[in-house]
């Protein structure tokens, strides 16, 4: 019902390519404005020395198997890991250097493969294609090159949000061209100069589906140069607060997932990486990471590689010492050590204060400085139009679901979140399916988790439900 024909709004030179495009206006959601946005400039932090691939970043990876030993030397693109349950997909080293540690936890669970980087990165070389070659590329060739080059983990399957199975064929491929999370990096910045590779990536991805490749852009911002004049993809626009940038929300409004459907999603970074793999024949895992958060002296972008150690970006850059370093954003990210590694899919780290303090009558004190979606007693943050400094305090204890109607206000999908959560908790498989668990992953309910007055771990609940459905 939110669909409005796009042509009426857009009569530019690209309109002939956009004839199927949609403009989706979302109203529900919540933009969390935090202190510590990265300035749109590169900062010359000391480069990271070590890099790590963490199998735990790949949800759904069940039996990781390491292909290298400590002391081996690898190049960027050398396979170092695969999942025995999906053994065609190779996970490659992001940099060249020496495998310095294979870190395992309890029960020998594989945690990290650490690589000490060479000063100059050298690359494994793969077959090279010209732009005109790409047009005649077959599906098999495309799949093989992406798998061999170690770029396949960039392709995520919905439902479930796991690495795609190369033997499947999705009904469509979705690319969200922007990130609406708090302090999210600017994709125009991340993809600067990647126009050629991004277009090549789209061309390659188009081979993998008989359906449409959708590129979804922010209707409220200018179109980044990298997305201008894209061919081979349907460009849709989304307006509204976060989670408008979540690919799951976009799929729901353009081509929803029903039982038995498969859709693949790729981050624009992955699209460009795949494109470069074909045009240049190398796996280029270099990426810009936004260093953000209220506790940093300098919030800016840094050029590094996938899985970078964060210590050189954080050490000496902190305003206080009692902080939490998060790989990713504050809604969906993961706490890492101050010498931990950026997650495989993350383009951002966030540093905020730890909140492990008691506050006298903190539950009743009037305040304008505490961020809240609600206007309940004494919370006047809705009057505060500025940016908030938020710590990790949970602001209350866990309780059963009491308040109704709050989740619905931050989930712009035709889904009944409370009923879905309850179905998962009670392990009712039919209900989970029928209520739409195929359509969401953790990030889609992150705002629900944030606003929940009963402080339940909803993202964890959703992942548990997905695992029940996947392995049942």
Partner 1 sequence: MKALQNLFDKLKPNFEKGGKWEKFYTLYEGHRTIAFAPDITTKAKGSQIKDAVDLKRVMITVVIAMIPALLFGIFNVGFQHFLAVGEEATLVDKVLFGAMAVLPTLIVSYAVGLLTEFTFCVIRNHPISEGFLVSGMLIALVMPPYIPVWQVALATIFAVVIGKEVFGGTGMNVLNVALTARAFLYFAYPAQISGDKVWTYLGDKAAVDGFSGATALSVAFQAGQNGEAVTSAFANHNSAIGDNLFSVANMFLGLIPGSIGETSVLMILIGAAILVGTGVGSWKIIVSGFAGTFIMGLIMNAFAVNEFMAMPAYYHLLMGGVAFGIVFMATDPVSAAQTESGKWVYGLLIGFLTVIIRVTNPAYPEGIMLAVLLMNVFAPLIDYYVVKANKKRRLQRATV
Q: Is 25 in the site for partner 1 (CB under 8 A)?
A: no
Select from 15, 396, 467, 470 the one that contacts partner 1 (CB under 8 A): 396
Q: Is 81 in the site for partner 1 (CB under 8 A)?
A: no
Q: Is 212 in the site for partner 1 (CB under 8 A)?
A: no
Q: Is 27 in the site for partner 1 (CB under 8 A)?
A: no
Q: Which residue is it, tokens 């308040």?
A: 403
Select from 47, 211, 256, 281 the one that contacts partner 1 (CB under 8 A): 256
In the shown chain, the binding pattern of residues 299 to 338 toward partner 1, with x for contact by CB under 8 A and - for none, equals: -------------------------x-x---xxxxxx---
Site for partner 1 in 353-382 (CB under 8 A): 354-364, 367, 370-379, 381
Complex with partner 1: residue 99 or 352, whichever CB lies closer: 352
Site for partner 1 in 427-466 (CB under 8 A): 434-436, 442, 446, 449-455, 457-460
The two tokens of residue 116 are 């000490």
53 CB-near residues (< 8 Å, 6+ apart)? 80, 81, 91, 93, 94, 112, 113, 115, 306, 307, 344
Q: Is 172 in the site for partner 1 (CB under 8 A)?
A: no
Least distance to partner 1 from the beta carbon of 27, Å?
14
C-alpha atoms less than 13 angstroms from C-alpha of 311 in its C-beta half-sphere: 8
Least distance to partner 1 from the beta carbon of 329, Å?
8
Select from 50, 95, 350, 466 the one that contacts partner 1 (CB under 8 A): 350
* Local structure of residue 183 (DSSP, 8 states): T
Complex with partner 1: residue 360 or 471, whichever CB lies closer: 360
**Which secondary structure element, helix H or strand E, spans residue 212, and what is its range?**
strand 212-218
Select from 394, 426, 471, 472 the one that contacts partner 1 (CB under 8 A): 394
The two tokens of residue 404 are 């109704």
Burial track 286-323 (b if 16+ CB lie within 10 A, e otherwise): ebbbbbbbbbbeebbbbebbbbbbbbbbbeebbeeeeb
Phi first, then psi, for residue 302 (nearest 5°) are -130, 145
Of the candidate spans 69-77, 146-154, 173-181, 252-260, the one that interacts with partner 1 by CB under 8 A turns out to be 252-260
Of the candidate spans 191-199, 203-211, 310-318, 388-396, the one that interacts with partner 1 by CB under 8 A turns out to be 388-396
Are 412 and 440 a contacting pair, CB within 8 Å? no
Strand extents, DSSP E, 75-195: 79-83, 86-92, 97-104, 110-117, 155-158, 162-163, 172-176
């Amino acid at each position: 019902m939110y669909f409005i024909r796009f042509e009426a709004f857009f009569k530019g030179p690209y309109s002939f390519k956009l004839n199927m495009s949609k403009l989706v206006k979302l109203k529900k959601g919540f933009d969390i404005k935090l202190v510590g946005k990265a300035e749109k400039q590169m900062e010359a932090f000391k480069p990271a020395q070590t890099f790590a691939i963490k199998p735990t970043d790949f949800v759904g990876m069940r039996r990781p198997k390491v292909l290298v030993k400590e002391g081996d030397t690898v190049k960027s693109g050398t396979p170092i890991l695969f999942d025995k349950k999906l053994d065609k997909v190779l996970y490659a080293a992001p940099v060249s250097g020496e495998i310095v540690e294979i870190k395992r936890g309890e029960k020998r669970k594989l945690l990290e493969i650490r690589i000490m980087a060479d000063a100059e990165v050298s690359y494994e070389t793969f077959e090279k294609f010209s732009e005109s070659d790409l047009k005649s590329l077959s599906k098999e060739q495309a799949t093989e090159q992406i798998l061999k080059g170690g770029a396949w983990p960039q392709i995520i399957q919905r439902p479930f949000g796991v690495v795609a199975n190369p033997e499947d064929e999705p009904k469509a491929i979705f690319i969200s061209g922007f990130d609406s999370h708090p302090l999210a990096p600017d994709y125009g910045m991340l993809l600067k100069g990647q126009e050629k590779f991004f277009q090549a990536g789209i061309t390659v991805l188009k081979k993998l589906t008989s359906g449409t490749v959708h590129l979804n852009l922010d209707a409220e911002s200018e179109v980044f140069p990298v997305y201008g004049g894209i061919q081979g993809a349907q460009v849709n626009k989304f307006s509204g607060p976060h989670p408008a940038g979540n690919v799951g929300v976009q799929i729901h409004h353009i081509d929803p997932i029903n039982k038995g459907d498969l859709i693949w999603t790729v981050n624009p970074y992955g699209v460009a990486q795949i494109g470069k793999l074909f045009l240049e024949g190398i796996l280029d895992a270099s990426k810009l990471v936004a260093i953000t958060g209220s506790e940093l002296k300098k919030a800016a972008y840094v050029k590094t590689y996938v899985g970078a150690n964060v210590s050189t970006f954080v050490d000496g850059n902190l305003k206080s010492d009692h902080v939490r370093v998060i790989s990713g954003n504050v809604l969906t990210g993961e706490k890492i050590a101050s010498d931990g590694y950026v997650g495989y899919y993350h383009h951002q780290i966030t540093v905020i204060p730890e909140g492990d303090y008691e506050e006298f009558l903190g539950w009743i004190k009037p305040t304008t400085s505490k961020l809240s979606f609600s206007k309940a007693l004494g919370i006047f943050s809705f009057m505060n139009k500025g940016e908030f400094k938020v710590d990790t305090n949970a602001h209350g204890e866990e309780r059963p679901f009491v308040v109704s109607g709050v989740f619905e206000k931050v989930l712009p999908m035709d889904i009944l979140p409370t009923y879905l959560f309850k179905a998962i908790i009670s392990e009712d498989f039919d209900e989970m399916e029928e209520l739409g668990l195929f359509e969401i992953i953790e990030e889609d309910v992150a705002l629900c988790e944030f606003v929940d007055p009963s402080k339940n771990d909803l993202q964890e609940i959703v992942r548990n439900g997905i695992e029940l459905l996947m392995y049942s």
